[in-house]
Structure 1
Amino acid sequence: MDGVNVPELVERLSSDEESVRKMAVFKLQSVIGDPSFADVFIHEGGLPKLRFLALHSTGNTLAYCLTSLSRLLELDKGWDHVTDDLIRRIVELVVAQPLVNVNRGAMSVLAAIVGHPSHRNSQPGASGFQRLKPAIDSQPQFLPSLVEKIASADHALCANSLQLINALMRDAVANDASFEWPRFIKQLQELGVIKSVNGLMRSSAVHDLAHPLLEFQSLTKVLLRRWKEEVVDLESPDHRRAMRSLQQSSHPDKSVQDPQGSKRHNPSKWRRLGFNTESPAWEFEATGFLGLMDLTDFVYKNEDGFHKLLLEQTAQPQEERCPIACASLAVTSILYDHFEVDKSDDSESHRHNNLDTRSNFDKAFKPLLLHWSRLHTGGLSAFVRLWGAAGALVADFDKVEELIRILIEQVVGQAPRTKDIKEVEDDLAEFELQKLRELQMELLELTYEDAWGHHLRQVREELNHEALQFVKEQRIRCLLTGAWFPQTMAYSTDSGPITTKTLNKTVPNAWRFVRLSHNRRYLHYADFEEKSKTEPKLEALPEKIDLSIVSSVVSNVSASAPSTASSDNTLTTLPGHASTASTTTMITIHGYLPANSHARNRSDTSNSSGQRETALLRLHPQSHTLASEWLDGLLMLLNQQPITAETHKLVNLIGGYGLKIRLLNVRFEDLNMDEPVMPSREGLDEEYYYDIGGMEGGV
């Protein structure tokens, strides 16, 4: 206020010269926000002059005047000069005034009037939206003009427009004695406010308009909450009308012929729609009028499809029919929980004010919430689709509902801010049942992990150990059964190391059969000129290797998955074996022989005790599966860890299924068990003992 002569400034507001008035009100708008200045300004009689300028000035003078007035009202001062003629004038400006800066100020004043209903004393009994209603009724283009300005390129004008709409919505919902707020909200929706706000939320302008957009999002939750809290009452004309239209849209048989020839009403007209009883009003207890709105909207927008769906369900046996109405109410509840509609405005505002990263900023906006009806339709359609895909029965309703909850969380919850509603609808329609079940098991495991922590990890370790022992026995049993291997590497003692140049030095069409002895101590084998249809018995295999002298088992079998390029390269047909494809995959069993034993190849080495390590046996598996069975079987027989991808995959699969079976056998309520309370000695006046071993207590 320093340097400002208030009496002189007030006097200039009523000057005969337009330029003097403009400069005075221009300066006023920058200082009127100071409460001490505002008090002096009012004391000097500035309010009547400011009001006069608001009623009669034009151009920038009017813009500066409206800005000053709005800032004064924000200080909760000057309300006695906000008269009906001033409100009518400002409403007219919103509709007819093309200047952006005038529109900004006009909407700021109206937002202040709507947002402070307790100070409307010039018209007793009227407040907020009701105070503006006569002026709005006289200007049919007011609301269309207001909604249109949301799409303005000027972000300040856009923000002011949205703030005024927010104020009108909030006050209309809070003061609904005349039950006009639903019609007002519907009028805004029909004018396209949802489409405009959704476009802003998904655009880059969201940063400049964060406050009004988040407030609109919060108001959307307020509306949903009000509709949910509204009890469905068939005495209400609106509710009765909705139920009647719902029933008629299903095209029921209006009458049924009884054996006596008389006509009576269809006794299951509501159960036919998927309700549990013929008195469906009570079934909306959990969702209120919101559930009824969602169901009637689904039917109204897809009447032919709804009728076809009912006919399809009616053709099914009773226990296999999907209860459409119950499914609709379930989807409403799921969406309500997902968007945390019950969360208070204060907690949301606190969360939004503490956004520190772009990621968190984007997560604060939920443009999909504005498409509630389309999400409900997509969710209900997915419910019916998954019901059929799963072959569900009525008793499985809760299970399908849980799948839909996961689906909504996955598709809607993981959708980025910029994702279009049409893409979300497509995802809901195409998400596969099998993928949902996999997600369900992952979530179930994470839930128990959070609840039980180290207990679950211990169970997992035990199951993995059991799975490893199971697979070990399976692999060893493969060795006990025996297998044929093409014997194409019959080198003489001077053949040297195996290379691509010596690959042709093979004995064609020779086969070797190898089998583990029953006592698991010897590996028996023999060579045959051809592969017989029956497997040779152990007595027909004269050659054997004592496993106690085996030092190592090595192989060029890839440890990666069989589908990888590196693994595929190890399976190639050798010369002379087109029909009985051998491979370059090789398993070599090494062992120690006494020092005087004859070396089998030039790669033999000696150890400190005089024994020499040599290749005792070479095998050429014909497939990845056979290679995995024999390589890991031999390793595990020697108490070593398996190395192939197939064996590891099998161990993880068995252990995983074991864990899932145990999780499914545990009641979910067990997760919510409280910690046991340690009893105290309070109230005891005698010695007390407790015999744990004998389960006896006494004093």
Structure 2
Amino acid sequence: MDQADIPALLSRLASDEDAARKMAVFKLQSSINDPAFADVFISSGGLVILRRLIMTAGGNTLAYSLQSLTRLLEVDMGWDIFEGPAAGDLVERIVELIVTNPLVNILRGAMSILVALVGRSQSSGGGGGGGENTGLSPRTPTAAHTPGTFGFRALKPAVAVYPQFFELVIQQLQSADHALCANALMLINALIRDAVSSDGSIGSGAAAQAKGSGVPASEEWSKFIKRLQDLGLIRAVFNLLQSSALQDLAHPLLEFQSLTKVLLRKWREVRVDLERPEHRRALKGLHLASAPDRKHANGVTGAAGGTGEDGDAAKKGSRRHNPEKWRRLGFETESPAIEFETAGFLGMMDLTDYVRKNEDGFQKLLLEQSTRPLNERCPVARASLAVTMILYDHFEVDKSDLEDIRGYLALNDAKSHDKLFRPLLLQWSRLHTAGLHAFFRLWKSTGAQRDDFDKVAELVRVLVEQVVGQAGRTKDVLEVEDDLQDYDASRLRELQMELLELSFEDQWGPHLFQVRDELKHEALQFVKEQRIRCLLQGSWFTKPMPHTRQESYTKRRLYQPWRYAKLSHNRRYLHYADFPEKLPYEPGLDALTEKIDLGTISSVVSNVSTNPEADAAESEADQSPNSSTPTLRHNGAAITKPTTKITIYSFADDMAHSTTTPISPDTTINLTPGPGSTEPKEQPVLTLYPLNHSLASEWLDGLLMLLSQAPITAETNKLVTLVSEYGLKIRLLNVRLEQMYAAPVGRGSGVGVVPSREGLDEDYFYEI
């Protein structure tokens, strides 16, 4: 719309005809966000007419008027409408619309105006005195103006007239209209942001009132937040975070999530001070909820015949407190306020909330702990504070979400949503209770003592990372509570060790990988030499008896059940011979009439298992006196039937031209190549039947290593791993303590302090 048309537009806006006003304000809302147009509109007295429409109109005319004012405020103009004696009436009218009007388009506009009005407290120099730097403050004004009444104190008179205002705003978070829902959440965010502003009060007006009444400012904003929570705010936003409306509500939801972290930080920063009535009441409530011993709670008099100061005190009816009043609850000292230094008032809130909701269980727990030795009691209060800080660190409360919000537009997949949106952050109290119960369970199942407190706390930290950290955005909090309670302690310990190993490898990984590669190569050479020496020493093998009907009687009669094989000293030939019985001595090479040139061997094949579980099963079977392995008898001697075999192959051409490789009598060789075959064909030249699995592993891998191939059996690979790990531990034992505490290279010549060895001796061992 042209600026020259503004006088005519104002005339129609002031018309007595509703249709003319409606059409004029409809056109106004589409043009007023142009700063040049808005400037002429304001200078022509348009704010007075726009205010009159908001105060008197209804229906679409009112909706368009509210939208026009919203767009005017978006370009940071028109703030004068909230100044002067009539400003309060306008704010009250907008609050009234939110409380009484059911039309969605009117509610959206009214809430948008209040968002700008409350947010003005942090964006301007006047009003609220500036807000905490949450990274989510509204736009910075560009036009100078006279400071007016902004922030929560601008709404306070109207809210006093309509006390159901906050409840109805929170109810709009359940609206099916996503735009209305987003506006309601932005209004709540603005109110919370104003509440936690730098002066710690709900607007500067509230600060002045609190100061005049003697009420600490921090209690004012804390009470306001609690009021919103009691109206169901947390449950409503939690449902939105788990809903499918994330795309439309992303920014206000992320802002609320960030403000939740701001609140947690502020509660933690509040120091527990026994001079403050609220803190004294909280500690007193903890003591009374613990069902203290009546004689200590109510005081007892001294002995009837007491004398001296004790007797005088008894006569005066003085109260005598339990000397372990606070240590009984799990504090380390009798000055509990000091122990809240790390967790602050947030830790006290979590502990008192747990005790209030689980008073019976709290009393039973303390009673159960009192029956145990002092060293074995679980310190309940310390555990609660530890869980608070575990959750604080897990949700990275000290980290701003500004970067996440800026990068939101690039996120479209569900995994990114799970990482960005953390609904469980809003279930802080329930997670604290579930984590504390998990702490008690782990303390009991691990048989922990006082000195093990930090170890149990680390287990709980791993548990929270595993359960809460891995929980999807839509996972119900009840399932998370059950997982925290039922997670297996042994599996948790395994996860902890895996994380420690990963952490260790992150720091020492490159060095360890290099050392491990070197040691593995050395171990492989060591085991290769050991396996080859087994072949050089020689071994006895069995031979199966011919069982086919075609075998001649002569061949059966000449059957020799024992075979001895041995590698020559020059490691070039494999000598072997068959014997009718196992000799009491080891035959020499001159008694072994047959040999195979290792240079002619093409491959070695075996049915020896490469599975570690099968290895263990076979080893047990070999050593079992009741083994079911069948036996044969030859000439009255019992011979165990072999279950594994090793077959050595050679090419047919090599065998045909070799004069140094006699053929075994029990080997059948086909020297005729197959039809159309141009390559030599492999044929078996020797078969060995080891007596047990260990012997099979030694000979199979020994032959493979002689042929420059890698070992394949699990027993040999296990031995290689054992030797390499043993070497690594030996090298780690050689690392001097001074090297661990040495200053990093390039950071000065100073070194750390080496712990004293006073009181230590050399009586130690290292378990491999």
* Matched ranges for 1:97-246 at <5 A: 97-117=101-121, 118=124, 127-174=150-197, 175-176=200-201, 177=207, 178=210, 179-246=219-286
The answer (yes or no) to whether the contact 1:605–1:614 under 8 Å persists in 2 is no
| Superposed displacement of residue 646, structure 1 | 5.4
Are residues 76 and 295 of structure 1, via their aligned partners in 2, closer, same or farther at CA, if it must alter by over 3 Å? Answer: same
**Equivalences for residues 663-682 of structure 1 within 5 A:** 674-677=744-747
Tell me the percent identity. 55
Q: Does 1:459 align with 2:515?
A: yes
Alpha carbons of structure 1 residues 3 and 406: separation in structure 2 relative to 1, 3 Å: same
How many Å separate the matches in 2 of 1:36 and 1:668?
Answer: 73
Matched with 2:60 is 60
State the alpha-carbon separation in 2 of the partners of residues 383 and 536 from structure 1.
67
The 1-side partners of 2:277 and 2:148 are apart by 28
Equivalent residue number for residue 676 of structure 2: none
Aligned to 2:139: none
After TM superposition, give the deviation of residue 246 of structure 1 in Å.
Answer: 1.6
The alignment partner of 2:245 has SS state of helix
Equivalent position SS for 1:247: helix
Q: Counterpart in 2 of 1:686?
A: none
Of 100, 103, 106, the residue aligned with 1:96 is: 100
Once the 2 structures are TM-superposed, how far is the Cα of residue 553 of structure 1 from its aligned partner?
4.1
- Shift, 1:198, TM fit: 1.4
Indicate the residue corresponding to 1:391 in structure 2: 447
CA contact 2:643–2:689 (8 Å) conserved in 1: no
CA contact (8 A) 2:594 2:661 kept: no
2:445 and 2:514 mapped to 1: Cα distance?
A: 36
Aligned with 2:660 (options 595, 618, 624) = 595
In structure 2, distance between residues paired with 1:317 and 1:513:
69
| CA–CA separation in structure 2 for the residues paired with 1:68 and 1:282 | 55
Q: Does 1:641 align with 2:692?
A: no
* Paired AA for residue 235 in structure 1: E
Q: Deviations over 1:419-471 (max 9, x none)?
A: 22222222222222333333333333333333344212113324544665787
Q: Which residue of 1 aligns with 2:383?
A: 327
Q: How does 1:566-581 map to 2 (within 5 A)?
A: none
* CA–CA distance in structure 2, aligned partners of residues 213 and 281 of structure 1: 35
Mapped pair 1:37 → 2:37:
yes
Q: Which amino acid aligns with 2:745?
A: E
SS at match of 2:668: coil
Alpha-carbon spacing, 1:659–1:575, altered in 2? closer, same or farther (3 Å):
closer
Task: Name stretches of at least 5 consecutive residues in structure 2 with no aligned partner.
Answer: 129-144, 202-206, 211-218, 305-313, 633-637, 673-681, 750-768
Q: Distance in 2 between matches of 1:421 and 1:412?
A: 9
CA deviations 1:365-385 (Å, max 9, x no partner) are 111111111222222222222
5 Å-filtered alignment, 1:248-259, equals 248-255=288-295
1:483 shift after superposition: 9.8
TM-score norm. by structure 2 comes to 0.73
Counterpart pick for 1:274 among 330, 349, 357: 330
1:115 is matched by which residue type in structure 2?
G
Does residue 556 (structure 1) correspond to residue 556 (structure 2)? The answer is no
TM-aligned CA deviation for residue 474 of structure 1: 8.8
Match for 2:466: what amino acid?
Answer: Q
Partner residue in 1 for 2:78: 78
Contact persistence 1:234–1:240 (CA under 8 A): yes
Contact residue 254 and residue 265 of structure 1 kept, 8 A: no
Give the superposition deviation at 1:71. 1.8
Q: How does 1:435-514 map to 2 (within 5 A)?
A: 435-465=491-521, 468=524, 488=544, 490=546
Deviations 1:462-519 (Å, cap 9, x if unpaired)? 45446657877997899999999875455799979xxxxxxxx999xx98698999x9
Local SS of the residue matching 1:554: strand
- Paired letter, 1:412: V
Q: 1:574 to 1:120 in 2, by over 3 A?
A: closer
- How many equivalent pairs are there? 653
* Contact residue 596 and residue 660 of structure 2 kept, 8 A: no
- Structure 1 contact 291–328 (Cα < 8 Å) conserved: yes
Rounded Cα–Cα distance in structure 2 between residues aligned with 1:364 and 1:671: 39
User: Residue 291 of structure 1 corresponds to which residue in structure 2?
Assistant: 347
Whole-angstrom distance in 1 between the partners of 2:412 and 2:562:
70
Judged with a 3 Å threshold, the aligned counterparts in structure 2 of structure 1 residues 61 and 317 are, in CA distance, closer, same or farther, namely same
Structure 1 residue 337: Cα displacement:
1.5
Task: Show CA shifts across 1:638-659 (max 9, x none).
Answer: 8753213454466557766986
Q: Is the 8 A contact 1:365 1:417 kept in 2?
A: yes
Q: Report how far residue 536 of structure 1 moved.
A: 9.1
Q: Read off the aligned partner of 2:249 and give its amino acid letter.
A: L
The Cα shift of 1:287 comes to 1.0
Tell me which moved more, 68-77 or 554-563: 554-563
Offset at residue 127 of structure 1 (A): 3.7
Name structure 1 gaps, 5 residues minimum.
497-504, 530-534, 607-611, 680-699
Amino acid at match of 1:297: D
Task: State the secondary structure of the residue aligned to 2:272.
Answer: coil
Check whether the contact 1:232–1:281 (CA below 8 A) recurs between aligned residues: yes
How far apart are 1:162 and its partner, in Å? 0.5
| 1: CA distance, partners of 2:378 / 2:576 | 62
**Cα distance, 1:628 vs. partner?**
4.8
- 1:181 offset after TM fit, Å? 1.7
Q: For 1:6, give the aligned amino acid.
A: I
Counterpart in the other structure of 1:619: 689
Matches within 5 A, 1:370-449: 370-449=426-505
3-state DSSP of counterpart to 1:208: helix
Structure 1 position 102, deviation (Å): 0.5
CA displacement at 1:44 relative to structure 2: 1.1
Alignment RMSD (CA, Å): 4.6
Match in the other structure for 1:690 = none
**2:711 aligned partner, one-letter code:** P
**C-alpha distance 107-253 of structure 1, shift in aligned 2 (>3 A):** same
Tell me the SS of whatever aligns to 2:196: helix
| Pair 78,650 (structure 1): closer, same or farther in 2 beyond 3 Å | farther
Q: What amino acid is aligned across from residue 156 of structure 1 in structure 2?
A: A
